[in-house]
Chains A and B, each alone.
Chain A
Amino acid sequence: MNEVTAFWILAAIAVIGALFAIRKRNLVHGVFSLLVFFAGLAGLFLLLLAEFIAVVQILVYAGAVGILILFAIMLTDRVTGKDAFRVTSRGSFWGTIIAASVFLVLLLPTIQEIPQVDNPSNSEEIVKQSTVKALGKKLIHPYVITLEILALLLTAALIGAVTAAQGGHPAKKKISIE
């Protein structure tokens, strides 16, 4: 299978997965098509020779984020497929118009401004240069501050998520229960 066929198949998987994810009435089905979208995108990353990012995409998105969203759905909505009465939103028409006009007015002309690349870099060269070892070295040498800030951000997000999901003051709640 050559590169062009692979690109079109993966692009179709990603677009159809994304479309189903936002249009499905049953939220759980929506999450599963979201997982299909993430997998299609990971395939596109592989096609672009970023194999480490593809693996991270599968691990973080298809693994962690998908499960997290499923848990959130099960903790909040009753998963009965009777989500229909709130799917038919009034904003659907205007949403479609706004999204289409953003695409046609904003993005497409910008893309046309970008010059066509005549000779893309040699793929063997890229594979040789973008090893996991090279990525790790880059993370330590010029980007170490970013890495540290990111670690701080993740810790803060974890604490914040636990605090927010706990709801209010747990100490007070315990007293009122007693």
Chain B
Amino acid sequence: MTVTLHHYLILASVLFCIGLLGALSRRNAIVVLFSVEIMLNAANLNFIAFWRFGNNPELLHGPLFTLFTIAVAAAEVALGLALVIAVYRHFRSVDLESLNTLKEE
């Protein structure tokens, strides 16, 4: 038995769903942020797996795309955490359910 493309794809989708579960079910803004990071990493695993098992590995699409995604994710996490700190300063909490000032009471 060898490791095939499908092993990696199923592993990546399991990781993606774990991230989705975290983003949907947790209330803490920081946990939601790193659930999004888990989902992004699952997508990176897909890029690399398709590159490894694809037809034209010399084009290096997988590693390059992953490199760009990692850079974008780094920018995203820096901004996201800055927003979390700004939200904490304003509401004294990072509980997402306390951010309901737009809701009509």
Contacts and interface: CB of A to CB of B under 8 A. Distances in A.
Interface of A: 3-4, 7, 11, 14-15, 18-19, 21-22, 27, 30-31, 34, 37-38, 41, 44-45, 47-50, 52-53, 56-57, 60-61, 64-65, 68-69, 71-73, 75-77, 83, 86-87, 89, 91-92, 94-96, 98-100, 102-103, 107-108, 111, 114, 116-117, 120-121, 125-126, 129-130, 134-135, 138-139, 143, 146, 150, 153-154, 156-158, 160-165, 167
Contact of B79 (A47, A129, A161, A167): A161
B10 to A, nearest CB: 6
A88 to B, nearest CB: 9
A21 B79 contact: no
Contacts of A86: 27-28, 95
A153 B75 contact: yes
Contacts of A143: 64
Q: Which label, helix, strand, loop or mixed, suits the secondary structure of the B interface?
A: helix
B52 A120 contact: yes
Interface in B38-55: 38, 41, 44-45, 48-49, 51-55
A15 B14 contact: yes
Q: Give 6 nearest A-B pairs by CB, closest first.
A: A22-B22, A95-B25, A157-B75, A95-B24, A161-B82, A107-B13
Contacts of A146: 68
B9 A111 contact: yes
Interface string B12-32: 011111111110111110110
